[in-house]
Each structure stands twice: as structure tokens, then as C-alpha cells.
Amino acid sequence: MPTRIRLQRKGKKGRPYYHLVVADSRAPRDGKYIERIGAYDPNQNPAFIEINDEKALSWLQKGAQPSDTCRAILSYTGVVYKNHLAGGVKKGAFDQAEADRRFDIWKNEKNAKIEGKKNKLAQGADAAAKARVEAESKKAADHAAALSAKLAAAVEAPAAEAPAAEGEAPAEAAAE
């Protein structure tokens, strides 16, 4: 029976999340599956990925073929690299301790990248919030200044017209 590691869609319209499943390649996308090995939620940033590494590695070694998206997810989590290292141990290129050391180094670098991305996103959100507050403050200050100028112009205009009106009245009286 040819098996595939693929995504099974869940969730509502516009907000999908997926289960990573091992299924017969002839089964429908959301149909019967052999085993569920993880979950993937692309709606979060960075995307939420939860995989049972041992089960996924076991199925890869049994010959299950991942779909393109699942291959990318398994590569991102390190299951494909772990399978590659297991092949090296099996061939005698290095021992299991060396494979574990190499995988730990890779995993630490990957976790540092993920944490860096999370920190960058958090700083970007903080900077966006500060910029939004500054823009609102500037807009409020400009609006207040415009209102003050309009009020000052309204107060000065009647004061400027009042002396001219008083000056015209005696001139008209003299002419009569």
C-alpha cells in the first residue's frame, strides 16, 4: 500500500488549520487516514507547527512519501535532516553520537532564528504602535492649532471692524 504524508484540512472557511496525517495515497484529502502525526496552523506568525518527530521519522524510514508542503514542514522541523543523519549512521559514515551532536547544533541554530523572528515581529509591532500614537498626537496638535488660529481670527476680526465703524459715524454726522 503506497502511503503519503500529507495535510488534512480542518477549520472554517478562510481560517484553515491542518493535521499532518499518514494516509493511503488513494484515499481522499479529508478522508480516512492511518495515523495523525502532527498539526500545522498557518494563521499564526510564525506558523504553529507541532509534530511527533519519532512517528514522522518512522514513517519516512518505512517509505512514506511526503507531499511538497509536508516535505517543507518536515524539513523546517528537522525530521528530514534527522532521517538524513540516520542514513549516514546506517552506512557507517559516523556514529549515532556524532549524528546527535550535529542535529543538536542544527536545532539550536534553528531555534535562534525562530526566536529572532519572534523578537523582530514584537519590536515591529511596538514600533508601529508608537508611530500610530505619534501620528495621532501630531494630528491632534495640528487640529488644536488650526482651531486656535481660527478662534484668534474670529476674535480679531470684530475688534478691527469696531473702531472703523465708530470712526465713520462722526464723519457722517459732520457731512450732514
Band of residue 85 on the pLDDT scale cut at 50, 70, 90: very high
| Domain boundaries along the sequence of the chain | 3-93, 94-158
Pairs from 69-74 (Cβ < 8 Å, separation ≥ 24): 69/6, 69/7, 70/5, 70/6, 70/7, 70/20, 73/20, 73/38, 73/40, 73/49, 74/5
Band of residue 164 on the pLDDT scale cut at 50, 70, 90: low
Three cell numbers written together for 69: 508542503
- Strand intervals (E) in 44-174: 48-51, 65-66
Q: What is the CATH code of the structural domain delimited by 3-93?
A: 3.30.1320.10
Alpha helices in 78-95 (DSSP H): 79-91
CB 80 within 8 A of CB 74: yes
pLDDT at 12: 94
**Residue 165 in this model has a pLDDT that exceeds 60:** no
